């Protein structure tokens, strides 16, 4: 692999999900206020196969109620409040459509790391639908460095995205790097490893970079740790602390 990181090096996690309700338009605006021009967010499908920004497969934490996201129509879900849990000033902030967030980010020059986050059981379908929609939304963009990077913990979702939109590059999201990572990433045809920093060390970073892969890490909320990871050769960090890590 010979992947040279073309994207920003600091990425706001779930929008700016500790400064505004995560995975909402408000969180994207908050990242911009801090000068961030790169964002990670989670994309899931509704019952009618519409991609929306959502982290949890069940209602209850960020959106009041009970039951699975996969049982709600987009027309219902996108009317639901996704901001009040965070603070009364965000009451009325709704669950956004993925395509609306893409338009906002493009309009403001924000690069996107799109985490494909399927409801369990919907891995392949989520990969297919998110990839197909993304491909159509970026059909007018000739510069592929402006396209999003897909990432997912779910192999089936990554493979479905690959077959649906092979030109959109993918990152393999992992907690720990397995011993056979190199064989597996070759099969997956991903260009980036996206690893939990808690399980990274200098040796693993050096090996991944020596093989020519891009390397992202999450979720880094400490300036000294960020400096250490960059010094080891990590390309980019996903952070909640957009106030601590300056945008780069």
What whole-number distance in Å separates Cα of residue 162 and Cα of residue 182? 18
Question: Applying CB under 5 A, does 240 fall inside the site for Mg ion?
Answer: no
| Stretch touching Mg ion by CB under 5 A, among 23-31, 36-44, 180-188, 193-201 | 36-44
What whole-number distance in Å separates Cα of residue 160 and Cα of residue 71? 22
Using the rule CB under 6 A, which residue among 24, 25, 30, 40 binds ligand G3P? 40
C-beta separation of 41 from 53 below 8 A:
yes
Using the rule CB under 5 A, which residue among 22, 42, 123, 159 binds Mg ion? 42
C-beta separation of 191 from 169 below 8 A:
yes
Is residue 13 annotated as a catalytic residue, yes or no?
Answer: yes
CB of 215 to ligand G3P, least distance (A): 13
Q: Which residue is nearest to ligand G3P (CB)?
A: 218
Residue 41, phi then psi, degrees to nearest 5: -150, 165
C-beta separation of 101 from 53 below 8 A:
yes
What whole-number distance in Å separates Cα of residue 86 and Cα of residue 157? 30
Sites for ligand G3P among residues 160-189 (CB under 6 A): 173
Using the rule CB under 6 A, which residue among 42, 128, 159, 235 binds ligand G3P? 42
Binds 26: which of Mg ion, ligand G3P, none (CB < 5-8 Å by kind):
none
Question: Applying CB under 6 A, does 115 fall inside the site for ligand G3P?
Answer: yes
Is residue 197 annotated as a catalytic residue, yes or no?
Answer: no
DSSP secondary-structure letter at 71? G
What whole-number distance in Å separates Cα of residue 221 and Cα of residue 238? 9
Q: Which residues bind Mg ion (CB under 5 A)?
A: 42, 115
Q: Which residues bind ligand G3P (CB under 6 A)?
A: 13, 40, 42, 55, 115, 151, 173, 194, 218, 238
Query: Which residues participate in catalysis according to the annotation?
Result: 13, 55
């Amino acid at each position: 692999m010979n992947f040279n990181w073309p994207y920003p090096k600091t990425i706001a996690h779930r929008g700016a999900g500790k400064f505004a309700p995560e995975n909402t338009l408000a969180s994207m605006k908050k990242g911009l206020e801090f000068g961030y021009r790169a964002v990670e967010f989670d994309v899931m499908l509704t019952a009618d196969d519409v991609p929306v920004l959502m982290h949890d497969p069940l209602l209850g934490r960020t959106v009041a109620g009970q039951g699975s996201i996969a049982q709600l129509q987009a027309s219902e879900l996108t009317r639901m409040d996704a901001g009040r849990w965070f603070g009364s000033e965000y009451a009325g902030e709704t669950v956004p459509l993925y395509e609306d967030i893409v338009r906002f980010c493009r309009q403001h020059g924000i690069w996107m790391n799109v985490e494909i986050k399927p409801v369990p059981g919907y891995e392949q379908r989520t990969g297919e639908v998110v990839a197909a929609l993304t491909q159509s939304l970026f059909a007018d963009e000739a510069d592929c460095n402006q396209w999003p990077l897909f990432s997912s913990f779910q192999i089936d979702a990554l493979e479905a995205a690959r077959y649906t939109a092979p030109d959109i590059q993918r990152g393999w999201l992992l907690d720990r790097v397995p011993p056979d990572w190199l064989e597996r990433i070759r099969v997956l045809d991903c260009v980036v490893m996206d690893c939990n920093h808690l399980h990274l060390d200098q040796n693993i970073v050096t090996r991944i970079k020596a093989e020519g892969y891009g390397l992202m890490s999450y979720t880094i909320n400490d300036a000294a740790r960020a400096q250490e990871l960059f010094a080891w050769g990590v390309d980019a960090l996903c952070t909640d602390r957009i106030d601590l890590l300056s945008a780069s």
